[in-house]
Chains A and B, each alone.
Chain A
Amino acid sequence: MKNTFIGQPMERREDLRFLRGRGEYVDDVALPGLLHAAILRSSVAHGKIKSIDTSAALKRPGVHTVITAADMPGGPPIVPMRLQPLPEFKPFEQPAIAHEKVRYVGEPIAVVLAATAAQAEDAFDAIEVEIEELPAVADWTVAQRNNSVLFDKQGTNRSMVFESRKGDADAAFASAPYVRKERLRTGRHYGLTMEPRGVMATWDAAKGMLTIYGAAKVPFFNRRILSAQIGLPVEQIEMIENDVGGGYGARGEFYPEDFLIPFAARHTGRPVKWIEDRRENLIAMNHAREEEAILEVACARDGTILAIRGEVHTDMGAYMRTNGAVGARNVSQFMAGPYRVPHVKIDSSLWMTNKTPVGTYRGPGRFEANFFLERMIDMIAEELRIDRIDMRRRNLITAKEQPYPIATVQPTNAVDEYDSGHYPETLERALQEIDWPRVSKLQGKLVDGKYHGIGVVCFIEGGAAGPKETARLEVNGDGTISLYLGTSSVGQGVETIFAQIAADALEVSIERIRHVHHGSTAYVSDGYGAYHSRSTVMGGSAVLDAANNFLAALREAGAKRLGCDANAVTLDEDKLTGGGKSVPLREFAGLTQEGVFLNKKHTYSYGSHVAHITVDPKLGRIEIIDYVVVQDVGRAINPLTVKGQMIGSLVQGLGGAVLEDLKYDENGQILTGSLADYLLPLASDFPNLRGVVLDKYPSPINPLGAKGAGEGGIIAAGGCMANAVANALSSLGVQPRQLPLSPAYIWELLQQAGRKAAE
């Protein structure tokens, strides 16, 4: 039997429990003797804490304990960075609970533990917090003045400048026949998960064991953080991954609550549960995206890009969180996108402000870079009077140039290259899908009171961050096989995908792979998790290695029982056969083997978006007539879920392109504090979307040939929609330079255009 589960659109095994309401998310787990935690958060954006008095709150009904920084001898522990943990960032990391100062609205000040969550919240108004307010730093332009600084000892609000370099950009600019300079910015978004975050912890004093429920994304790493903070060896901490209601980069990073709740459990000796509410989630979960670029592109007259240089400024919020530097780093490294750009020089500054801190959100830095450069390509093509699609064709990297080296980022010395692919191919396919010869005639046309526009952009998506992933296979007592993984699920459907890979490698039926366990620290010796579109590639490759080791071990064990040579033994669904005899697989119950995949390189999938939209000039409203994403993912393990990732991430991207923006006033108060203000895409917003998955150019750097493919829809949505709007309104000379393309912003652009025309 030669299996081919890989490549088939297979229905997901996870669905069987989710559809019946039998998923088990962290708030679904109940334990006896539970205390509920509620977290009092700062309502002041920037200030010195003068005093905190919790005595009255302790007398409130049901209240058990109130925890503040004062309960932590030596001060609260800080939450260290996971990615790019440079020494320069150390002073900007977040204490697990506010200490001496508060730096954003939402910063934890006290944890109230009570018999019910409602009683814990009821006690908030009995806590006296005296804060001496300081001037708020509400955005990066205020931050750079350094009049008010968040970290007094540092004396500056800038935590870092990432320098991205390739070739000699200044020299290229000096001799360039054409240069265009623009200032562009993206809104502030976040990876809002439908399930708010939650942590539950129990402390078993007799065994010295701390158990954490609600772990996600990177449980092994988080266990190491907690171990250092709380002073327990990792063996005495178990992290349990429950079902996870969405990740998108934001969930599962180590947050202050990931220390506070385990600490509370140990402090009280009682199980403690904290479930975030939505208003809290909007100010506590990592924000992302808010970046402004001042960018120059140098070109030949035919549109050949010669060099890119400029600066990017990221509004980091108040602290450097675990993965907070990734967006600002990526925007500098990937500014050139899928294009052949010999000279790059980008300085990316990270500014601390009095807002919720940033972290990654699906397509970190890439969404922004794509918007910046793609917007400029269209403006340049228009000015040089060349076709914007030809300009892209001319500059896209081709298969014979692979692997293609990209800019190096300092001070992390991040050297990287693209792995494989013929980038013009997805562009041609996308144009064909949208029927370019037909729709191109509509560009800029006013039909029934609406302007038609087409947006065309190309993108690159990185994936498969190393260094390592682990998988383990084990024979069960009933002769089925269990698969355990160090990577995690954040709702992508990894259980199905890993079962497909394992069943193919072992040449057994997919049902034989009975259970797929992942994410909890007890399953394998080490694990790295679900980020950077890495689960399938890294975890899947580890499954292949585990399958090899597992088969070898089975052959050896089988040979002894069957009295034949190990090479003669084969796994035949539910038995081992060899030497004309067979023995049931269940008799090898407990036999287990681990496998690992080590990787230093990244995969790069790529693709194109083409959108046909209309703009209603009276309402400033955009409607999508047709939208096509084409992405080459190297190898599609499960086309059904790859397409699901594509469309799902596209709609998130469209949210960022036209709806989503976390707004603050100049005092650092959030203005979008509910889902009625922070607008998310709804079922009625974007009905006409299509995705095409290609797998023509497998990745050479892993045995599956797969590439990370969870972000392709989101990365290019902002650029594509902005270009479509510019194209629709080209007769009026409208050029969007910021996101989101809200009706108010489009209306403002039209007013400006009208005034210009009148002059």
Chain B
Amino acid sequence: MGWRMTTKFEVNGKPVSVNVEPRMTLADCLRHELRLTGTHVGCEHGVCGACTVLVDGEAVRACLMLAVQAEGAKVVTVEGLSNDADLTPLQKSFRKHHALQCGFCTPGFITTAHALLTEEPDCDADRVREVLSGNICRCTGYIGIVEAVLDARAAYKK
């Protein structure tokens, strides 16, 4: 086993401390060390967006970031954007617009869309497409996803 480092950060509002090899990605750390398997890994080279999480509010590819780089950060995953009681307005909108099939890309789209709508609740369809073009979905053809995000804007307006 190689050299390890202890790193402390916050995940979904809870402080965590992990002892990992410096080369471990944040995606692998979330999935395998912290067992938050909602964050998916589809390419490991920063192209597909399935691993997108929020780091200090910004959408970040967890496969391109090392776990040790998260020191002191606030990380939010799809689990942190969900609750048991009910789907959130964004999730409801995805369901209504059939914005997912196999569901593998979905956590990455939810986190990306959440970051976008939090910052720009008035974004238009072109802007939504532009931002979502960093995430790949092989099932839906994107039409439902874009409609879902547009339809969820109302819930993010102050």
CB of B82 to closest CB in A, whole Å: 4
Q: Is B140 an interface residue (CB 8 A)?
A: yes
Stretch of A340-348, A434-442, A489-497 contacting B (4+ beta carbons < 8 Å)? A489-497
Q: Is A246 an interface residue (CB 8 A)?
A: yes
Q: Is A243 an interface residue (CB 8 A)?
A: yes
**Proximity string of chain A (250-282) to chain B, C-beta cutoff 8 Å, 1 when within and 0 when not:** 000000000000000000000000000111000
Q: Is A62 an interface residue (CB 8 A)?
A: yes
The answer to whether A20 and B38 touch across the interface, beta carbons within 8 angstroms, is yes
Contact flag A683-B82 (CB < 8 Å), given A194-B102, A278-B45:
no
Q: Which of A279, A640, A648 contacts B139 (CB 8 A)?
A: A648
A459-489: which have CB < 8 Å to B? none
A232 to B129, CA, bound (A): 51
Chain A residues, CB < 8 A from B82: 19-22
The answer to whether B104 and A194 touch across the interface, beta carbons within 8 angstroms, is yes
Chain A residues, CB < 8 A from B101: 246, 491-493, 644, 648
A21 to B79, CA, bound (A): 6
**Proximity string of chain A (628-643) to chain B, C-beta cutoff 8 Å, 1 when within and 0 when not:** 0000000000001101
CB of B100 to closest CB in A, whole Å: 6
Which chain A residue has the least Cβ–Cβ distance from B105? A194
A322 to B38, CA, bound (A): 32
Q: Is B121 an interface residue (CB 8 A)?
A: no
Contact flag A641-B98 (CB < 8 Å), given A246-B104, A647-B140, A675-B136:
yes
Contact flag A490-B102 (CB < 8 Å), given A30-B35, A675-B48:
yes
Q: Which of A20, A30, A686 contacts B91 (CB 8 A)?
A: A20
Stretch of A8-16, A167-175, A592-600, A740-748 contacting B (4+ beta carbons < 8 Å)? A8-16
Which chain B residue has the least Cβ–Cβ distance from A192? B138
Contact flag A648-B140 (CB < 8 Å), given A18-B100, A19-B87:
yes
Interface magnitude class on chain A = 35 or more
The answer to whether B98 and A644 touch across the interface, beta carbons within 8 angstroms, is yes
Q: Which of B31, B135, B141 contacts A647 (CB 8 A)?
A: B141
The answer to whether A15 and B129 touch across the interface, beta carbons within 8 angstroms, is no
The answer to whether B103 and A61 touch across the interface, beta carbons within 8 angstroms, is no
Q: Is B144 an interface residue (CB 8 A)?
A: yes
Which chain A residue has the least Cβ–Cβ distance from B91? A19
Q: Which of A19, A23, A279 contacts B104 (CB 8 A)?
A: A23
Q: Which of B43, B44, B78, B96 contacts A21 (CB 8 A)?
A: B78
The answer to whether B141 and A648 touch across the interface, beta carbons within 8 angstroms, is yes
- Further contacts, 5 of them, CB under 8 A, given A20-B38, A20-B91: A15-B94, A17-B103, A19-B94, A681-B142, A683-B145
The chain A residues found within 8 Å of chain B, CB to CB, are 11-12, 14-25, 27-28, 30, 61-62, 115, 118, 192-196, 243-248, 277-279, 490-493, 640-641, 643-644, 647-652, 674-676, 680-687, 689, 713
Q: List 26 A-B contacts (CB under 8 A).
A: A12-B95, A15-B94, A21-B107, A21-B110, A24-B37, A27-B41, A115-B1, A118-B21, A192-B138, A193-B138, A194-B138, A194-B139, A195-B104, A196-B42, A245-B103, A246-B138, A248-B138, A490-B102, A491-B102, A647-B141, A652-B138, A652-B141, A674-B47, A675-B43, A680-B136, A682-B136
